[in-house]
Structure 1
Amino acid sequence: MNVAYFSNQFATNQGHGIARYARQLFKELNTYPDISITPVAAWSNHSDDKKKELIRQTGLRLMPWGRVGTSVSWTFLNWPPLERWMPEAIDVVHAVSLGYPISTNKPYVVTIHDLGPLTHPEFFSNTNPWVMKRCLQQAIRKADAFICVSQSSADELESYVDTQISERIHVVHEGIAPLFLEAPELTSINSLTEMPQPDIPYILTAGKISPRKNGARVIQAFSQLIDVIPHHLLLVGGDGWDMKEISNQIEGSEKLRKRIHLLGYVSDEQLHTLYSMASLYIHPSLYEGFGLPLLEAMASGCPVVTSNISSLPEIAGDAALLVDPYDVSAIAEAIHEVCTNKKLADQLRRYGRLRAKQFSWNACAEQITHIYRQVA
């Protein structure tokens, strides 16, 4: 079976989110000898040398019209079919995210990570919801199967559309990279200049700084505890569209300036080490399609506090403390409880490791290959 695996994120230099999903799933799908997976993208922002190396290693094919040309042709003309540009006969086309309304006459599978820009636009900036809406409308008409990364995303999809599609929806959880189940390389963080002193305990939160990640309330909760616990707070992730608000919060308090550290983007190896050394991973997100950082933290042996809404309870199970993400006092109370109660923290570490092991890319790929065979 030949599968055209369309993902622009696969061909970018990003390392998180959908890009991680696309690469990890691709790697696992390639272990099936009877299935040939060819990654396809409209464009790549890698340097020429890295682009050539990616093509050599993975067989990546770039569409000849580039980012804009491909989008315009498929969105407005529904032409030409993707399979026309493939070197071999294609049996299935898999859109790895809801990005472009792909033109194809082959059996068609679409992965839905979330519908956030359509259902929760207040949490997303610089998006083109009309493109996403157009893509979803096309998928509803043409897709033989929808892969939703959580039951929460599946429920959201069903409630959003006005067509009966439940028989085409398959919930397939993401997996966790083996790296996070291995012993961390402690020296990997030696190059991080914004770290606190080695003897100072810390709380970790990760993700691009944006309203959806709820960083402002994390800082408010931390400020309530700053004279109660000795911990520092580490923020990992790139600047988002509410970075100014976060910076103002920190700069407005001398105590916070001394106790909060902005690390920016870090490598997976560094993130794994940061998780493993943290007293707590705090993730009170207001909206998530899945919530992979929870599992990465759990696999790394870090206690987790997360939200009691969206997909997060589904992913966390009973291995994390769940809080109302809109209640600053509740967030502060949970942080205090984990950071001062060793018995609870150790219990969360044990439960977390067991929970993380239930999510594997091997199981994810096995379910997806079954879907391929169903629709082909």
Structure 2
Amino acid sequence: MSGAGAGQPRHVLMTTDSVGGVWRYSVDLARALNAAGTRVLLVNVGPEPSDAQRREVATLQQTRLTVLDEKLDWMAERRDELAAIPRRLSRLAEAEAVDLLHLNLPSQACGIRTDLPIVVVSHSCVPTWWDALRREALPDEWRWLFDMNREGLRRADRVLAPTQAHAEALTRVYGTAGNLAIVPNAVEGLCGQPQAMREPFVLAAARWWDEGKNAVVLDQFAERVSWPVRAAGACHGGNGQSFRFSRAEELGPLPGDEVRRLMARAAIFVSPSLYEPFGLAALEAAEAGAALVMADIPTYRELWRDAALFADPRDPSAFADAVEALIADQERRTALATAGRGRAAQFTPKQQMRALQAAYRPLARRTPPPNRCMRAEPMRFVFYTHSLVSDWNHGNAHFLRGIMRELVARGHDAEALEPEDSWSRTNLAEQQGEANVERFGRDFPELTSRTYGPGFDHATALAEADVVVVHEWTDPALVAEIGRLRRDGGRFALLFHDTHHRAVSDHQAIAGMALEDYDAVLAFGETLRRRYQADGWGRRVFTWHEAADDRLFRPLPAEPTGDLVWIGNWGDGERTKEIGEFLIEPARTLGLSGVVHGVRYPAEGIEALREAGLDYRGWIANADVPAAFASHRFTMHIPRRPYVEALPGIPTIRVFEALACGIPLISAPWRDEEDLFRTGSDYLVAADGAEMKSRIRDVLNDPDLAASLVASGLETIRARHTCRHRVDEFFAILSSLDGTQDIAREAAQ
């Protein structure tokens, strides 16, 4: 047999498990890799393979099976139970001289030490399962697994998901995975020509002990249809989970060949799953010629489109009605079966292998491994921003300064382009004086910003750029012009950056942006990313949160001279009530001393602050904020209403900056839906004005509590939310734009 092709690994370590669909996936993939000249070391984690499974692997001439006596992550109760797995995998990889690790659980990459490229595949996981079934925050008892999975996903050089729906679930639950690609699952055509005459029964196949497979609804609708409903698959799980059917016919666990024979006979195949990253059983049933009735979930909609009927998986009557409609209409059954078989033909091992090789190729070429965070040669970055020089009512300037400083520190060239008449810069000059415009150069001497007007030559300005980022406050005509420069041969990556709520508060303004020539959109929160995707704005959309520039925002030695400092603008009526309830009234009642900074306060607002005993001092330069935090005992987060209601889960940048400065923080009602922080440990939340007063008393009167909040908040910022972290993520996103385009192009050939 010939060796591996150019750019392909010669020897792959691939993890597997004997329990579910991962075994089928990994053995089939090993067979295909062997055929392409790549040897495979198949490493089983979890329960030992059966004799039949061992015999199956033994038929593969270039695949060898080894077994690690370790737990699968979803079978463990604590992180330390899995601690040995990364170490043992890296040792195996070194001893066996493999070229690449293909890990079929993200947690297996957590903390692994190797210079070899790592591909992580997410087939499913407890946090995305919980998100789909419970639609609520993950319980604390599973937080350790969430952390391991997220670390493993970030450690990987390439993350593979079987569907776009599951990729979006991963991004929603774990945050941006800029190195993510779609490699669908596959099934070998084993059935030949399907039987013309199908038997009158309905088949379902799954691990029925798994609540996500929704055995309850299958059993309930079974008594409402006129054909027998037969359920193949295990009803008892390894951790004590179980289910007993009372209406559907329980077939129990069956060998794969027997299940496929049933699929070849059944007229209808159903899957009421609430959670399904791919759904291999449905693919096998469609390939066998059964008509499909699928749960109306994103995965099945993506895969089966018009080749199946869909029903609400939480409604037994809806499923029964859909199945009964097919029972009564043989012509429709035949049409759906034909459409399903045609759709299944698009998911073959050959096509899967082509996409996988495209994902492997850039990694197999690596020698030595590159720095993940930056290219070896300097790059030129151009940022179109409302203003870099002025932070007057312009919080994005804080973040952009930190990003540009980090790029410059890494040896890159970064320049901002801002309009000569920006309202932020104009107001800063008019209200605070030109001296405060000029101090930007003293505060940030490493940063460069140029202004542009009507006659500015943007094509020349971008001629040498590698990456161009255009902020959403940029004039729409200029947004379109820059897009045309990209389309007409611009050799830069072009990204659109949204750090505001206009997508929901001024929908038409964003809908009118010409983003079709932009490579990607950067959205500063997951809910905003989903809004862009739902409305079809941009080719690809990534979540890219704001963060603290910890070169500037850090704890300073100082003795507090006041109780409270709040830094925030009035907010165009978007938090007027909240400022009264959570800031002014508690300060008045408790007799707090403190300072408020911000702009655009109406006269009645300033008077209310004065009457509460708070000193209103207007605008503060962002470079002076760390000193302001250091001289007070606590601060607050009072989010604007759109970030509580329409775009929940997006914090103001002041949260990152305050925690980075080591000041206790108390928040008005706000849900950290993306688990950016540790609520209750990094900061406190007050549900109403009365609770805010109570929280303030606790912080002021309990030094241990205040010190704990400071330490925890600092730990979270330094571990996850500095501009260094965001630049790392930015480079991963840029890398994925190139890599994913290559994969898509090669997979389509």
Provide the TM-score with structure 2 as the length reference: 0.41
1:358–1:83 Cα change, 3 Å: same
CA distance in 2, matches of 1:49, 1:292: 21
Secondary structure of the residue that 2:170 maps to in structure 1?
A: helix
Structure 2 residue aligned with 1:165: 177
For the pair 1:264 / 2:252, whether they are aligned, the reply is yes
- 1:1-376 alignment, distance < 5 Å: 1-9=9-17, 12=18, 14=19, 16-33=20-37, 35-42=38-45, 45-46=48-49, 54=57, 57=60, 58-63=63-68, 66-67=69-70, 75=83, 79=87, 82-83=90-91, 86-101=94-109, 103-105=112-114, 106-120=116-130, 129-130=142-143, 132-162=145-175, 164-166=176-178, 168-181=179-192, 201-209=200-208, 210-225=210-225, 229=226, 231-240=227-236, 246-247=244-245, 250=246, 256=247, 260-376=248-364
CA distance in 2, matches of 1:92, 1:373: 11
1:5–1:181 Cα change, 3 Å: farther
CA distance in 1, matches of 2:156, 2:24: 23
1:160–1:28 Cα change, 3 Å: same
Unaligned runs of 5+ in 1: 185-198, 251-255
1:217–1:175 Cα change, 3 Å: same
Secondary structure of the residue that 2:43 maps to in structure 1?
A: strand
Secondary structure of the residue that 1:7 maps to in structure 2?
A: strand
Secondary structure of the residue that 2:109 maps to in structure 1?
A: coil
Quick check: 75-84 or 235-244, which moved more? 75-84
Which string of whole-angstrom CA distances, capped at 9 and with x for unpartnered residues, describes residues 65-85 of structure 1? x32699959737963661555
User: Structure 1 residue 119: deviation in Å?
Assistant: 4.7
User: Structure 1 residue 237: deviation in Å?
Assistant: 0.6
| One-letter code aligned to 1:152 | A
CA distance in 2, matches of 1:69, 1:20: 16
Secondary structure of the residue that 2:298 maps to in structure 1?
A: coil
Secondary structure of the residue that 1:179 maps to in structure 2?
A: coil
User: Structure 1 residue 88: deviation in Å?
Assistant: 4.2
1:332–1:22 Cα change, 3 Å: same
The answer to whether the 8 A contact 1:73-1:80 is kept is: no
1:269–1:46 Cα change, 3 Å: closer
User: Structure 1 residue 117: deviation in Å?
Assistant: 3.8
| One-letter code aligned to 1:108 | I
Structure 1 residue aligned with 2:664: none
Secondary structure of the residue that 2:150 maps to in structure 1?
A: helix
Which string of whole-angstrom CA distances, capped at 9 and with x for unpartnered residues, describes residues 43-73 of structure 1? 661468975984685222345xx32699959
User: Structure 1 residue 345: deviation in Å?
Assistant: 0.5
1:182–1:17 Cα change, 3 Å: farther
Structure 1 residue aligned with 2:551: none
Secondary structure of the residue that 1:224 maps to in structure 2?
A: coil
The answer to whether the 8 A contact 2:106-2:153 is kept is: no
1:37–1:217 Cα change, 3 Å: same
Secondary structure of the residue that 1:176 maps to in structure 2?
A: coil
User: Structure 1 residue 172: deviation in Å?
Assistant: 0.8
CA distance in 2, matches of 1:329, 1:44: 38
Secondary structure of the residue that 1:45 maps to in structure 2?
A: coil
CA distance in 2, matches of 1:59, 1:360: 24
Unaligned runs of 5+ in 2: 1-8, 74-78, 135-140, 365-749
Structure 2 residue aligned with 1:195: none
Quick check: 84-93 or 47-56, which moved more? 47-56
1:181–1:23 Cα change, 3 Å: farther
1:330–1:111 Cα change, 3 Å: same
Secondary structure of the residue that 1:319 maps to in structure 2?
A: coil
User: Structure 1 residue 244: deviation in Å?
Assistant: 6.5
Which string of whole-angstrom CA distances, capped at 9 and with x for unpartnered residues, describes residues 329-354 of structure 1? 21111011100101111101110110
User: Structure 1 residue 287: deviation in Å?
Assistant: 0.9
CA RMSD of aligned residues (A): 3.3
The answer to whether the 8 A contact 1:5-1:96 is kept is: no
| One-letter code aligned to 1:150 | T
User: Structure 1 residue 4: deviation in Å?
Assistant: 3.2
| One-letter code aligned to 1:114 | S
Secondary structure of the residue that 2:35 maps to in structure 1?
A: coil
The answer to whether the 8 A contact 1:6-1:40 is kept is: yes
| One-letter code aligned to 2:123 | H
The answer to whether the 8 A contact 1:112-1:146 is kept is: yes
Larger radius of gyration: 2
| One-letter code aligned to 1:20 | R
Quick check: 295-304 or 264-273, which moved more? 264-273
CA distance in 2, matches of 1:81, 1:353: 39
| One-letter code aligned to 2:201 | Y
Aligned-residue identity in percent: 23
1:135–1:232 Cα change, 3 Å: same
User: Structure 1 residue 305: deviation in Å?
Assistant: 0.2
Q: Number of paired residues?
A: 337
Structure 1 residue aligned with 2:4: none
1:21–1:130 Cα change, 3 Å: farther
| One-letter code aligned to 1:165 | A
Runs of 4+ in 1 over 3 A off after TM superposition: 41-44, 46-57, 68-74, 76-81, 83-88, 115-119, 121-124, 128-132, 180-184, 240-247
| One-letter code aligned to 2:220 | Q
1:100–1:261 Cα change, 3 Å: same
User: Structure 1 residue 204: deviation in Å?
Assistant: 0.9
Secondary structure of the residue that 1:335 maps to in structure 2?
A: helix
User: Structure 1 residue 213: deviation in Å?
Assistant: 1.7
CA distance in 2, matches of 1:53, 1:272: 17
| One-letter code aligned to 1:95 | L
User: Structure 1 residue 261: deviation in Å?
Assistant: 2.0
CA distance in 2, matches of 1:219, 1:42: 33
1:281–1:364 Cα change, 3 Å: same
The answer to whether the 8 A contact 1:6-1:95 is kept is: yes
1:104–1:351 Cα change, 3 Å: same
Secondary structure of the residue that 1:290 maps to in structure 2?
A: coil
Secondary structure of the residue that 1:235 maps to in structure 2?
A: strand
1:245–1:370 Cα change, 3 Å: closer
The answer to whether the 8 A contact 1:203-1:282 is kept is: yes
Which string of whole-angstrom CA distances, capped at 9 and with x for unpartnered residues, describes residues 146-191 of structure 1? 00111011111112223x423x11011100122244668xxxxxxx
User: Structure 1 residue 365: deviation in Å?
Assistant: 1.4
| One-letter code aligned to 2:190 | L
| One-letter code aligned to 1:179 | L
Secondary structure of the residue that 1:79 maps to in structure 2?
A: helix
